[in-house]
């Protein structure tokens, strides 16, 4: 998909339905888009590894754990949540909810600013620095890396190639993604995909923040 797009707009919630769609990123890491219609839910289940969820549109309620040890948190657009491994997790939407789910093999390494089971705003993780690009590793393992980047005005990444498929989440501001010789404007709330080995660049149009999901194997 060589254009900017919106996960939320391309996977709109439908009343009475829960829809899951495989992202198509080619990797061991399982990346799926979930769309929960009004009043729908995903039954509680657990995984032997942590699960990363990134809100794309609307809001969803995550019920984590069971009994007296259980708690409920709400995830919205531009926010993320790491669900602890072996933890029952049920998800429900009042008015509709779209999110990206990432399940990778093996335990995650997490930034100290991120706590499993707690919702965090992605844009808050990386501050702007004058004349610089700030890169913050959020979560990673051998199969993927998820980072947040803050670009000051006039900064950017020169054309380069990455070892795996990748997905960009624009968080604040605007930028231009160069991909295989063509330019693609992108703004907060939009996404962009590129394939392993694809020549790409990022040029900030003013201040710009994004998250990047890069598959490694």
Q: Distance between CA 61 and CA 39 in Å, rounded?
A: 11
Query: What's the confidence (pLDDT) of residue 1?
Result: 59
Q: Distance between CA 56 and CA 73 in Å, rounded?
A: 16
pLDDT tens track, the chain, 217 positions = 578 999 999 999 999 999 999 999 988 999 999 999 999 999 999 999 999 999 999 999 999 998 778 999 999 999 999 999 999 999 999 999 999 999 988 889 999 999 999 999 999 999 999 999 999 999 999 999 999 999 999 999 999 999 999 999 999 999 999 999 999 999 999 999 999 999 999 999 999 999 999 999 8
Quick one: which of 70, 80, 126 has its CA closest to 101?
80
Query: What's the confidence (pLDDT) of residue 68?
Result: 78
Residues 6+ apart with CB under 8 A from 191: 4, 5, 6, 7, 167, 168, 169, 170
């Amino acid at each position: 998909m060589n254009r900017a797009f919106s996960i939320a707009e391309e996977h709109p919630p439908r009343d009475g339905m829960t829809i899951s769609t495989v992202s198509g990123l080619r990797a061991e890491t399982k990346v799926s888009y979930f769309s929960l219609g009004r009043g729908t839910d995903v039954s509680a289940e657990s995984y032997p590894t942590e699960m990363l969820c990134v809100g794309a549109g609307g809001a969803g309620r995550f019920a984590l754990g069971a009994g007296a040890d259980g708690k409920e948190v709400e995830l919205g657009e531009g926010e993320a949540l790491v669900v602890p491994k072996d933890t029952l997790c049920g998800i429900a939407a009042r008015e509709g909810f779209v999110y990206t789910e990432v399940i990778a093999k093996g335990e995650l390494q997490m930034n100290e600013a991120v706590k499993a089971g707690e919702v965090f705003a992605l844009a808050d993780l990386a501050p702007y620095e004058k004349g610089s690009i700030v890169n913050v590793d959020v979560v990673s393992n051998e199969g993927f890396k998820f980072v947040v980047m803050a670009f000051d005005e006039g900064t950017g990444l020169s054309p380069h190639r990455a070892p795996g498929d990748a997905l960009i989440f624009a968080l604040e501001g605007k930028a231009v993604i160069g991909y295989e010789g063509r330019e693609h404007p992108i703004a907060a709330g939009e996404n962009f995909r590129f394939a392993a080995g694809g020549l790409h660049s990022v040029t900030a149009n003013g201040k710009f923040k994004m998250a990047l999901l890069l598959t490694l194997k």
